[in-house]
Structure 1
Amino acid sequence: MRPSSTAPDRPSPARVRALYAMLTLVMLLWAGNSMVARAVHAEIPPFALALGRWAGALLVVAPFAWRRVIADWPVVRQHWGKILLLGLIGIGAFNALLYSGLRYTTATNGLLIQAAIPALVLCFDGLLFKARPRAAQIAGVSIAAIGVLTIILKADPAALLSLSFNIGDVLVLCAVLAWSLYTALLRLRPPIDPLSFLALTFAIGVLAMLPFAIAELRSFPLHFTPRVLGAYAYVAVLPSVVAYFLYNKAVSELGAGAAGQVISLQPLFGALLAVPLLGEALHGYHLAGMAIILAGILIPAMAGRRSRQATASP
């Protein structure tokens, strides 16, 4: 499998910093998405939540994107298979599996499983596109994983013995595999406007979720309370329209491996958000884990910066 277009020029150092800042915001928004999904799991069934998310996101994007979709239509027709694949994996499968898993598993297990994403992105990138990760990337993934485990296990390795897994964990693991594959496959994104790509993949997500949501709502009636409406508003706009636009842009410029490394920030932000939203306390092991995660992200970023400087020097 080969990418459909040549690799972009290396971004400038200032642009790289901006892209990493964008990815940091994305991870904060996605950490919030997981918390909202877990918070309303008893009020909104998973496929109905996913359907509302993508239908709402499509309504937000459509007024700005429809002219661009029309202009891009010849390219869309030529590459419809790639767009359908990316939409089904990154919009449909990932969200359906994640929301379904969060109905049954604990936040701790969910964080533990999602910590595998950066390593899986490197694996898929290597298997599909023969991309060789740099030593600094491998080191960064390993260090960040240690930081995630520090938070999840509360700096106590013996806590591994008390972890238990269920069907929810299997579903989250499948979601993690889908997202890692989507990140690697973004190399195949056809040369169309980013808003066109968002609108088309969001529409695919709506169509994919619709039959499952209809079947689900027959036995799980939805009550549109302010809490439910607020959850839909959040997941439709911030983790969807804003976060997907920024993430797709960053992956296209930085590459899947570099962008995937920042996903280690999600458990960090999850721990921070749990303090004001769930009333959980911030402990020393949180701070230690956060420091290790940041080190794991900064090591490959700094190594890449030195590599770019060496390449640019005469």
Structure 2
Amino acid sequence: MSEPSPASTGAFSALMSRPYILLILCNLFWGGNVVAGKAAVGNIDPYALMVLRWAGAALLVLPFAIEPVRRDWPTIRAKWWLYLFYGAVGYATFNALCYVAAYYTSGFNIGLDQVTINIFVMLLSFILFRTRVRPLQLVGVAITIVGVALTASHGDLSRILALDINFGDLLVLIASLAYAVYSITLRWRPQTDWRSFLLATFIGAALASLVFAATAGGGLAYVASTVPSITPLGWIIAAYTMVLPSIISQMFYVRGVELIGANRASLFINLIPLFGAAGSVLILGERLETFHFIAAALVMSGIVLAEWSARRA
């Protein structure tokens, strides 16, 4: 393989110094992952998809990470548990819950529910680090919560009072909490090469995926038996998830958090519903209900208000 040209290296360095572009692209690919997770139903077992995704991502990164890992090995060996945590919680747990949720709720809902990641990040930042939140930000968050609640209850808020929330939406909310924890803990990310970080965390995610498959997935033998029945579309979905939402998005998100912090970077996650909804309608042919439009308007209004308040600060 030829060495990258100085121009390409310079372009990559320039891209990695622009947090807004990185975070928009990152969430575009994650929005595609929402569509891929929903399209996977009937084409590939969710636990098989998860194992293939993270094991495949680790293998793809490996050739580029060998030298960085050698340099960073003392740090990786000392902080192995932290890399395992990142992979297990931020990658495997989040995606396991979202892929299973696709069997119970729509792709639009899965995308919209993920705006709660930012809410959880703000809450955890305040609890753990006393990060200041302005009153208008809280109002914006409250409006966003109403929008998400409208989605999770499928347009009937009284179902929440009766604790009758769609199971798929509940899984996505739990997944969002897991990813918020991952985002917060990135402030303790060991200072290693990004390729070393990706490989170590992908290995952690692959190991955690095997645990999920062995327990919740019906056993490793059962999950392995579903591989021959994966459709061509299922393999395409697996390939997509290995590259764009895994390698590229995770690299861009980690860099974005480094540049502007978890609180601000997590706001961009609110783009997932837009990209996910567009893909769900255009690719999956999902039908939007009236409550979807109302919920989306509430969520976006809350986001704009919270961001406007944060910028004033």
TM-score, scaled to structure 2: 0.79
Question: How many residue pairs were aligned?
Answer: 291
**SS of aligned partner of 1:192:** coil
Question: Could you tell me whether the CA contact under 8 Å between 2:69 and 2:196 is conserved in 1?
Answer: yes
Structure 1 pair 303–170 and aligned structure 2 pair: CA distance change class (3 A): closer
Q: 1:112, 1:149 within 8 Å by CA — same for their partners in 2? A: no
Provide the C-alpha distance between the structure 1 equivalents of 2:147 and 2:222, rounded to a whole number of angstroms. 38
Change (3 A) 1:62 1:137: farther
What is the match of residue 239 of structure 2?
Answer: 233
Distance in 2 between residues matched to 1:83 and 1:287, nearest whole Å: 39
In structure 1, the partner of 2:10 is none
Quote the residue 1:179 is aligned against.
Answer: 179
Aligned with residue 243 of structure 1, among 245, 249, 256: 249
Look up the match of 2:282. 276
- Taking structure 1 as reference, are residues 80 and 262 closer, same or farther at Cα in structure 2, changes over 3 Å only? same
Tell me, yes or no, if structure 1 residue 105 matches structure 2 residue 105: yes
Say if 1:124 and 1:196 are closer, same or farther in 2 by CA, change over 3 A: same
Check 1:107–1:241 CA distance in 2 against 1; reply closer, same or farther (3 A cut). same
Residue identity in the other structure for 1:179: Y
After superposition, the Cα gap between the structure-2 partners of 1:56 and 1:221, relative to the gap in structure 1 and judged at 3 Å, is closer
* Letter of the 2:34 counterpart: S
1:45-64 to 2 correspondence within 5 Å? 45-64=45-64
Contact 1:121/1:183, CA 8 A, preserved across alignment: yes
Q: Which residue of 2 aligns with 1:82?
A: 82
CA contact (8 A) 1:144 1:264 kept: no
- Deviating more after overlay: 116-125 vs 210-219: 210-219
| Cα RMSD, aligned residues only | 3.3
Gaps of 5+ in 2: 1-13, 215-219
1:266 aligns with 2:272: yes
Give, as a single letter, the amino acid of the residue that structure 2 aligns with 1:78. Answer: A
Maintained 8 Å contact 2:44/2:231: no
Using the alignment, how far apart are the partners of 1:209 and 1:91 within structure 2?
9
Q: Which amino acid aligns with 1:189?
A: R
Q: CA deviation at 1:67?
A: 0.8
Residue 42 of structure 2 corresponds to: 42
Of 37-46 and 164-173, more deviation after overlay is shown by 164-173
2:168 counterpart residue number:
168
- 1: distance between equivalents of 2:227 and 2:78? 41
Q: Pick closer, same or farther for the CA change 1:148–1:26 going to 2, 3 Å.
A: farther
TM (norm. structure 1) is 0.78
The alpha-carbon distance between structure 1 residues 238 and 64, as it changes in their structure 2 partners (threshold 3 A), is same
Structure 2 Cα separation of the partners of residues 288 and 168 of structure 1? 20
Mapped to 1, the partners of 2:142 and 2:124 lie a distance apart of 17
Kept in 1: contact 2:147–2:298 (CA 8 A): yes
Alignment of structure 1 residues 142-161 onto 2, 5 Å: 142-145=142-145, 152=151, 159-161=156-158
